Amino acid sequence: MPRCYFLGVCSGSSLDQGSNNVSLFNLIEQLNLPPGATPPPGGLIPVELHAYWALTPEERGLVFETRFVLVALDSGLELPTEVSRHTYRTPRFRTRMLGLPHPPVVGEYALRVDVRPGDTDAWRRDPAAWPVYVTELQPRESVTVH
């Protein structure tokens, strides 16, 4: 099975077409939500999810499916993204998805990633994890200057 060697959440990214290197902007480990925030349209927070994968020579050319999963550390609640399908002949490949599932409550989460061969229903959870702490912004007190 492909092995995830990098997993992260960021606000944006850019691919250098000359070098084929990626720049990630504003890596995110904490989401500050307004009190009582409702999920945005589609239930996704507009950030980018990135996973970089390594393939063995035997895995190249095979079909794999991947998905991101936001996991609540206290309850084990899992919020998966949509599934994406891949076939690569190179030693490494990158996946990027737009939108992190909006968590139902504040707390500590981990972004995880699952992979499976394209011809099976059995997911394998990769050991890679990215921390995501979800908190509510507390309103600031007004400051009066005399």
List the domain boundaries for the chain: 3-136
CATH fold label, 3-136: Immunoglobulin-like (2.60.40)
Q: Are 103 and 78 in contact (CB under 8 A)?
A: no
Over residues 29-83, the pLDDT tens digits come to: 999 998 888 888 788 999 999 999 999 999 999 999 999 999 999 999 999 999 9
pLDDT at residue 146, rounded to an integer:
66
Residue corresponding to tokens 């991947």: 66
pLDDT value, residue 41: 76
Cα 124 to Cα 2, 98, 120: the distances in Å are 10, 22, 11
pLDDT digits (tens, 9 = 90+) for 104-128: 889 999 999 999 998 889 999 999 9
Query: Helix (H, G, I), strand (E, B), or coil: what is residue 42?
Result: helix
Distance CA 66, CA 81 (A): 9
Estimate the share of the chain in helix, then strand, then coil, as percent rounded to the nearest 5.
Answer: 0, 55, 40
